[in-house]
Amino acid sequence: MSSLINKNKKRKCIALSCKKILLEERINKLTIAQLAKEANIGKGTIYEYFENKEDIVLELNTLLYENYRENIYEKIEKEKDYREKIKLFLTLIYEDKFNCHRKIFKKFIGITYSSENNSIIEFQRNWYKENFEYLKVLIKESSENKRLINNDINVDELVDSIINTMLGFFLLSFFTKSISETQHDIKKYINSIYKK
């Protein structure tokens, strides 16, 4: 049992070693040899813990995502106003402290749409579900206090569209806008779904 825990620790350790390299290089420049060196272990050892490279990147992404989530959930908790909570939910990723996370998430998206790895697809589905549920609660709470601009809208549909929009903003933030513009525009967007 403790062996399993150790195995898990080592997995994390290896995956995190991968982070430094991935921040500097594109994924297909990440080599097992390089990774082994960075993690101070033998090349063969990596295969004791991972099936392949994508697995490692998935593990890294999961770790970073969990870290990111904990961080933002905590912050969102502290905020009392629900509309502001929602804004935080969509914009905290653009804070400087998440620069690395953003870069890795970007590369992970690259893999997601290049490979056909099932674990990755699974991760994406879970990401959606989690965000959906979390945002749904926020929206419901917020709509009790603030009136949504559209009274008739189905909450599920609204939540869904917000998540889609959030994803779109994230993706385009790498190409068409600056970070601060993105944050600003997201806030405007959130305001636009509420009555004045």
Contact positions toward DNA, by CB under 7 A?
Answer: 3, 10, 28-33, 36, 40-45, 47-49, 52-53
Closest CA to 91 of 160, 159, 161, 188: 188
State the amino acid at position 25 in one-letter form: E
Distance between CA 88 and CA 11 in Å, rounded? 31
What's the closest the beta carbon of residue 32 comes to DNA, in angstroms? 3
CB under 5 to 8 A by kind: which of a copy of itself, DNA, none does 47 bind?
DNA
What b-and-e string marks burial along 118-131, b requiring 16 or more CB atoms within 10 Å of the CB?
eebeebeeebeeeb
Binding mask 67-106 for a copy of itself (x = CB under 8 A): ---------------------------------------x
Non-local (6+) Cβ contacts of 83 within 8 A are: 142, 146, 190, 191, 194
- Contact between 124 and a copy of itself (CB under 8 A)? yes
What's the closest the beta carbon of residue 108 comes to a copy of itself, in angstroms? 8
- Contact between 52 and a copy of itself (CB under 8 A)? no
CB under 5 to 8 A by kind: which of DNA, a copy of itself, none does 168 bind?
a copy of itself
What's the closest the beta carbon of residue 77 comes to a copy of itself, in angstroms? 26
Non-local (6+) Cβ contacts of 150 within 8 A are: 158, 193
- How is residue 176 annotated by DSSP? T
Distance between CA 29 and CA 108 in Å, rounded? 14
Partnered with residue 148 across adjacent β-strands are 194
In the bound state with a copy of itself, the residue whose beta carbon lies nearer, of 13 and 171, is 171
List the interface residues with a copy of itself, window 19-48 (CB under 8 A).
26-28
In the bound state with a copy of itself, the residue whose beta carbon lies nearer, of 44 and 80, is 44
